[in-house]
Amino acid sequence: MDAYTIVWSDMMMLRRRFAKYLLTTLLSPLLYLMAFGWGLGRGMSVNGTGYLEFVVPGIIALTAMTTSFNGAGTRLNTDRLFFRSFDECLMAPISSLSLLAGKAIIGVYRGLVSSIAFLLVAMLIAPGIHIGPLFVLSLLLTCLIFSFLGVLAALLASTHEDMATFSSLILLPMTFLGGTFFSLSQLPLALKMALYLLPLTHCSMCLRAAALGGSFPWWSLMGMAAFLLAFSLASMAVLKRLSV
Amino acid sequence: MIGLAKEYCGKRVIDDLSLEVEEGEIFGFLGPNGAGKSTAIRILTTLTKPTAGRALINGFDVAKQPHMVKSQFGIVQQHLSLNRELTVRENLELHARLHHLSKWDRDRRIDELLDFVDLTGFAHQLIDKISGGMKRRAMIARALIHRPRILFLDEPTVGLDAQSRRRVWDLIRGMNTEGTTVFLTTHYIDEAEMLCHRVGIIHQGRSMAIGSADQLRRNLGEIAVESKKDGRTRYCYFPDKETASKFVLEMKAADGVVMRQSNLEDVFIELTGRRVEE
């Protein structure tokens, strides 16, 4: 219930500028789709699948990652360090778990709104995309992972620059290396192993397999669950350190 | 507070602070910027842990029972801590929800407090669209929503114009009359004198004196005599006018001598060797 209160306040804010939010959040994935799907990948295929259809699940993973991270992390960072309204939450008689869950769910629903909006547009361009329970589960897990990562980064950051640095050092490389725009099967083994350390790699693989009907990488789903557990536990530990 | 201390990076910002605030009083912590007032408030409101000592609110230990303590107090912070993308009413509603007020109680209490702080007509305005004084009043309303037994106000009138300042003072007196204990910090002498039943003077993290403004003045001397020598002003304090007059008559150089009633600023300067604003 307390977690819902935290989310409620964000919903009130988002309601006022929903159209603007949707427009800005859709711009980047649509540009990726145009540049990589239509531009660079026209006429190309990966493992027998047209590149446009191949790249759409990757861009969905990317959209979920960015919007969830920013929805939870950037907002929390601003509330904590700029508006300093986060102190009000720390002083309220609610549990750390509710506070943490509320802040993360903000990222999840923002991530879902943006991903679903992009998916609807993408399905007009690539109608072969299949939306089933595994796809929904993978999308939800992707949003959860990056929401908690955002919360963790925001709680650790001591300046706004720290958040920007985190995005540049962690999210940006993941954007291009996390199996979003290419298949890992084409890479040398050592590099492939290194890329398995990135959560986005597993998110892209699960979403792609669920959307295109390939054999589902269950171990990647387990990997996603492990990342979620690690980020949420780390966030809780940092939050406990911040509050009395 | 019992022997409360707080260290940041090896530096003591609060040192052995002990005091008790009576239920129903307006207590003022008077001290310059950096004296440790806000740190004391942060400890009392569970935002930071003390390095040593204990602090209790209505019998609950702030470090050991933070959850119980959190429902006992309300706070108006020095900086604007409202959610700027929400309206005045939504900000109050958020706080009421966080304090688990029922829907019926929430709506009634919000209406009541909007009326109390004269913001009924601005209930649906975004925080960014209202004036500084209104924002401070909205913060007071928010802090009172869950009927706290003690209200902390950290520099409640800093940055406000004279009119808004007086309005905030009226609100503080009003909520105190209705039974809320008030603990405020200020570096304005007049605010402490006009509002507070008792004042604690804090300097470099230490409590220098505690008492009513009158008591503190009496301890120093009711009458102050200012005299100038070599461009410097010298202050002397006397228990009554007669003794002060005798002293003035005995002075060799009587130029620029002023005899007046002592005030809290005199007390502060005597105790700390500096002005509150410095």
Q: What tens digit of pLDDT does each residue of B226-245 get?
A: 887 777 788 889 998 889 88
- The token pair at A107 is 């990222």
Q: For residue B39, what are the contacts with CB-CB under 8 A and spacing of at least 6?
A: B6, B13, B14, B48, B205
For residue A8, give the chain B residue with the closest CA: B94
Q: What tens digit of pLDDT does each residue of A183-216 get?
A: 888 788 898 899 999 999 999 999 999 998 878 9
To the nearest 10°, the Cα dihedral for B139, B126, A160, A179? 130
Give the per-residue pLDDT at B253.
59
For residue A94, give the chain B residue with the closest CA: B98
- CB-based contact, B149 to chain A, within 8 Å: no
Q: How far does Cα B88 stand from its chain's mean position?
A: 24
Last residue of a domain, one of B182, B212, B242: B212
Compare CB distances from B94 to A9, A87, A243 and report the shortest one's residue: A9
Quick one: CA dihedral A146, A147, A149, A150, positive or negative? positive
The whole-angstrom distance between A205's CA and the closest CA on chain B is 38
CA dist., res. B259 & res. B240, Å (int): 11
Write the DSSP symbol of residue A72.
I
Q: Look up the ipTM and state it.
A: 0.84
**Residue given tokens 């054999």 in the structure block:** A215
- CB-based contact, A94 to chain B, within 8 Å: yes
Q: Are residues B72 and B7 in the same domain?
A: yes
The whole-angstrom distance between A10's CA and the closest CA on chain B is 9
**Residue given tokens 């991903």 in the structure block:** A115
Q: Are residues B244 and B183 in the same domain?
A: no
Per-position DSSP letters for A79-122, written without gaps between them: IIIIS--HHHHHTSS--HHHHHHHHHHHHHHHHHHHHHHHHHHH
Q: For residue A74, what are the contacts with CB-CB under 8 A and spacing of at least 6?
A: A150, A154, A163
pLDDT at A39 over 80: no
Domain assignment of residue B186, yes or no: yes
Q: What element of type H or E holds B109?
A: helix B103-116
Q: Are residues B133 and B13 in the same domain?
A: yes
- CB-based contact, B90 to chain A, within 8 Å: yes
Q: Are residues B38 and B162 in the same domain?
A: yes
Q: What tens digit of pLDDT does each residue of B25-78 get?
A: 999 998 887 888 889 999 999 999 999 999 999 999 999 999 999 999 999 998
Look at strands B198-203 and B206-211 and give their pairing.
antiparallel
CA dist., res. A57 & res. A17, Å (int): 27
Q: Are residues B208 and B226 in the same domain?
A: no
Compare CB distances from A5 to B46, B83, B98 and report the shortest one's residue: B98
Look at strands B223-229 and B258-261 and give their pairing.
antiparallel
pLDDT at A182 over 90: no
Q: Are residues B50 and B156 in the same domain?
A: yes
Residue B15, phi then psi, degrees to nearest 5: -135, 115
Range scoring the smallest mean pLDDT among A23-27, A97-101, B169-173, B227-231: B227-231
Tell me what percent of the residues of chain A surpass a pLDDT of 90: 59
Max Cα-Cα span within chain B: 74
Confidence band of A169 (pLDDT split at 50, 70, 90): very high
Q: Are residues B19 and B146 in the same domain?
A: yes
- The token pair at B186 is 């200020």
pLDDT at A77 over 90: yes
The single-letter code of the amino acid at B265 is E
What's chain A's Rg over C-alpha atoms?
18
For residue B128, give the chain A residue with the closest CA: A83
Compare CB distances from A91 to B70, B84, B85 and report the shortest one's residue: B70
The whole-angstrom distance between B90's CA and the closest CA on chain A is 8
Record: contact B81-A2, CB cut-off 8 A: no
For chain A, the structural domain boundaries read 2-242
CA dist., res. B117 & res. B111, Å (int): 10
- The token pair at B85 is 């993308």
Per-position DSSP letters for A13-46, written without gaps between them: HHHHTHHHHHHHHHHHHHHHIIIIIIIITTT-EE
Write the DSSP symbol of residue A243.
-
Q: Are residues B60 and B184 in the same domain?
A: yes
Output the pTM of the full model. Answer: 0.86
Domain count for chain B = 2
Give the per-residue pLDDT at A65.
96
CB atoms within 10 A of CB A84: 15
- Which one is predicted more confidently, A3 or A83? A3
- The token pair at B71 is 């429902």
Record: contact A89-B98, CB cut-off 8 A: yes
Q: Are residues B205 and B226 in the same domain?
A: no
CA dist., res. A16 & res. A10, Å (int): 10
Q: Are residues B149 and B243 in the same domain?
A: no
Q: Which residues of B117-140 are buried (b: 16+ CB within 10 A; e: fewer)?
A: bebeebeeebbeebeebbbbbbbb
CA distances from B203 to B29, B40, B141, B196, B250 (A): 10, 12, 31, 18, 35
Record: contact B98-A2, CB cut-off 8 A: yes
Domain assignment of residue B270, yes or no: no
- CB-based contact, A14 to chain B, within 8 Å: no
What's chain B's Rg over C-alpha atoms?
21
Q: How far does Cα A175 stand from its chain's mean position?
A: 11
Compare CB distances from B81 to A8, A12, A87 and report the shortest one's residue: A87
Q: Which residue stretches of chain B have pLDDT < 70? A: 252-255, 274-278
Write the DSSP symbol of residue A184.
G
The whole-angstrom distance between A95's CA and the closest CA on chain B is 8
- The token pair at A44 is 């190309």
Q: For residue B220, what are the contacts with CB-CB under 8 A and spacing of at least 6?
A: B237, B262, B266, B267, B270
Domain assignment of residue B69, yes or no: yes
Residues of B in contact with A243 (CB under 8 A): 46-47, 66
Q: Are residues B13 and B40 in the same domain?
A: yes
SS3 B220: helix
Domain that holds residue B174: 2-212
Interface test with B, best of A7, A9, A78, A97 (most B CBs within 10 A): A9
- CB-based contact, B48 to chain A, within 8 Å: yes
